[in-house]
Copies of this chain bind each other. A is one copy, B any other.
Amino acid sequence: MKNLNIVKVGGNIIESGEDLQAFLDAFAALSAPKILVHGGGKLASQLAERLGIPVKMTNGRRITDAETVEVITMVYGGKVNKSIVAGLQARNCNAIGFSGADGNSIRSIKRPVKDVDFGFVGDVVGVNSELIDKLLSLDITPVFCAITHDGKGQLLNTNADTIACELAIGLSKEYEVTLNYCFEKAGVLLDINDETSVVKEIDTSKYSELLKDQVIADGMLPKLENCFYALKNGVSKVQLGKPQMLQNTTTNFTTLRL
């Protein structure tokens, strides 16, 4: 099977012009086929604030009302996605921007209301891996923003980590997929303030150990759960670290395997 790199780039990198350019250098240098996934939560919150739209969060998760899904569509699908695509084109990487509606690439359903009404948030139900595979064969690099659709005309807000994970699983039938989470940290850290405390390899038993010892910080927990979910569903390898990880110019990052 051919190799495929799927790279999720974190919010703190996107928000800094300089870091984003350095990341795009690293991503563009990766050999194809490859896919990029991004969010842009803080930039969306900034625009919402300028427009006087209240940002509602519960346990760090955004409540997406009708006005907010419009803001997200403008920021993720417009501003962030198109500037990344233009930046990749300038680096001779033939990028095309996608929301889940484009090419019916990621279908979701509006999250049912239980304790919390998250509003226009979508839980992924299907990835159009056939079409994405065809586009990859044309040497196209898809750039996904964190938006899906319900197939009935409604755009829905979906976590970018989840989108990367679902794309990786969907494409693992055709490809040997490496799922890369690039962010501002060097990986899973034993001490969050010490960049040299990276746990370089985590397998299922090491993961249980880390959980038991409670060394994994709050924000990292859902990310690692996503990673092991991907590994259990066909993804070959997951890596977490700084953009240099993509260029093999550092060994200081975390690799996850079953």
Contacts and interface: CB of A to CB of B under 8 A. Distances in A.
A94 interface: yes
Contact of A89 (B82, B87, B95, B151): B151
Nearest to A107: B89
Contacts of A236: none
Q: Contact residue range for chain A?
A: 35 or more
A162 interface: no
A98 B94 CA distance: 13
Identical copies in the complex: 2
A103 B70 CA distance: 25
A79 interface: yes
Interface string A119-162: 00000000000010010001010000001010111110000000
Nearest to A24: B153
A83 B73 contact: yes
A97 interface: yes
Nearest to A138: B134
Given A82-B101, A102-B97, A153 B87 contact: yes
Given A74-B74, A77-B81, A96-B103, 5 more contacts: A47-B74, A85-B102, A94-B103, A96-B98, A103-B140
